[in-house]
Amino acid sequence: MPYKHTIATQLANIVNLDLEAVAKMLETPKDPKMGDLAFPCFQLAKTLRKAPPVIAAEVAEQLAPALKEAGVPVANVQVVGAYINFFLDQQAVAGDVIAAVLTQKEQYGHSSLGGGANVTIDLSSPNIAKPFSMGHLRSTVIGNALANILEKLGYNPVRINHLGDWGTQFGKLIVAYKKWGSEEAVRANPIPELLRLYVKFHDEAKEHPELEDQGREWFKKLEDGDEEAAQLWQWFRDESLKEFNKTYELMGIKFDSLHGEAFYNDKMDRVVKELEEKGLLVEDEGAMVVKLDEYDMPPCLIKKSDGATLYATRDLAAALYRQDSYQFAKALYVVGGEQRLHFKQVFKVLEKMGYDFAKEMHHIPFGMMLKDGKKMSTRKGKVILLDEVLQNAIDDVKKVIAEKNPTLENANKVAEQVGVGAIIFHDLKNFRLNDINFSLEEMLTFEGETGPYVQYTHARANSILRKAGYVENAGVTLPEGALEGPEAWAVVTLLLNFPNIIQRAGEDFDPSALGKYIIDLAQAFNKFYANVRVLAEDEAVKQARLQLVAATATVLKEGLRLLGLEAPAEM
Strand order in the sheet with 330-333: 156-160, 118-122, 330-333, 361-363
Q: What confidence score (pLDDT) does residue 212 get?
A: 93
Q: What confidence score (pLDDT) does residue 377 get?
A: 54
Return the DSSP state at 309: B
Largest CA distance in the chain: 85
Strand order in the sheet with 300-303: 281-284, 287-290, 300-303
User: How crowded is residue 538: how many other Cβ atoms within 10 Å of its Cβ?
Assistant: 12
Q: How far apart are CA 537 and CA 141, in angstroms?
A: 45
Single-letter code of the amino acid located at 192: P
Specify the pairing of strand 281-284 against strand 287-290: antiparallel
Could you tell me the pTM of the whole model?
0.91
367, 433 Cβ separation under 8 angstroms: yes
Q: What confidence score (pLDDT) does residue 440 get?
A: 74
- Terminal alpha carbon distance of the chain: 34
In the chain, the domains with their CATH numbers are 3-88 (3.30.1360.70), 118-267+306-371 (3.40.50.620), 386-563 (1.10.730.10)
* pLDDT tens, the chain, 571 aa long: 688 889 999 999 888 888 988 888 899 888 888 999 999 999 888 888 899 999 999 999 988 888 988 888 999 999 999 999 999 999 999 999 999 999 999 999 999 999 999 999 999 999 888 878 777 889 999 999 999 999 999 999 999 999 999 988 899 999 999 999 999 999 888 888 998 999 899 999 999 999 999 999 999 899 889 999 999 999 999 989 988 999 999 999 999 999 999 999 999 999 999 999 999 999 988 889 999 999 999 999 998 876 566 889 999 999 999 999 999 999 999 999 889 999 999 999 999 999 999 999 999 999 887 776 677 654 455 667 788 889 999 999 999 999 989 999 899 999 999 999 999 999 999 998 888 877 777 778 878 889 999 999 999 999 999 999 998 876 667 888 889 899 999 999 999 999 999 999 999 999 999 999 999 999 999 999 999 999 999 999 999 999 999 999 999 999 999 999 999 999 8
138, 432 Cβ separation under 8 angstroms: yes
Q: How far apart are CA 438 and CA 75, in angstroms?
A: 48
Q: How far apart are CA 470 and CA 71, in angstroms?
A: 32
| Torsion sign, CA atoms 178, 179, 185, 190 | negative
Q: What confidence score (pLDDT) does residue 380 get?
A: 52
User: How crowded is residue 188: how many other Cβ atoms within 10 Å of its Cβ?
Assistant: 10
Q: How far apart are CA 236 and CA 176, in angstroms?
A: 13
Return the DSSP state at 377: B
User: How crowded is residue 303: how many other Cβ atoms within 10 Å of its Cβ?
Assistant: 20
Q: What confidence score (pLDDT) does residue 448 get?
A: 83
Q: How far apart are CA 305 and CA 468, in angstroms?
A: 75
Q: What confidence score (pLDDT) does residue 308 get?
A: 61
Q: What confidence score (pLDDT) does residue 428 get?
A: 94
Q: Residue 361 forms beta bridges with which residues?
A: 331
Q: How far apart are CA 555 and CA 552, in angstroms?
A: 5
139, 335 Cβ separation under 8 angstroms: yes
Q: How far apart are CA 519 and CA 541, in angstroms?
A: 27
Q: What confidence score (pLDDT) does residue 161 get?
A: 97
List pLDDT tens digits, range 316-359.
Answer: 999 999 999 999 999 999 999 889 999 999 999 999 999 999 99
Specify the pairing of strand 74-80 against strand 300-303: unpaired
Q: What confidence score (pLDDT) does residue 132 get?
A: 82
Q: What is the CA radius of gyration of the chain?
A: 28
- What is the SS3 assignment for 414-483? HHHHHHHHHHHHHHHCCCCCCCEECCHHHHHCCCCCCHHHHHHHHHHHHHHHHHCCCCCCCCCCCCCCCC
Q: What confidence score (pLDDT) does residue 425 get?
A: 95
Residue among 437, 332, 386 nearest 137 (CA): 386
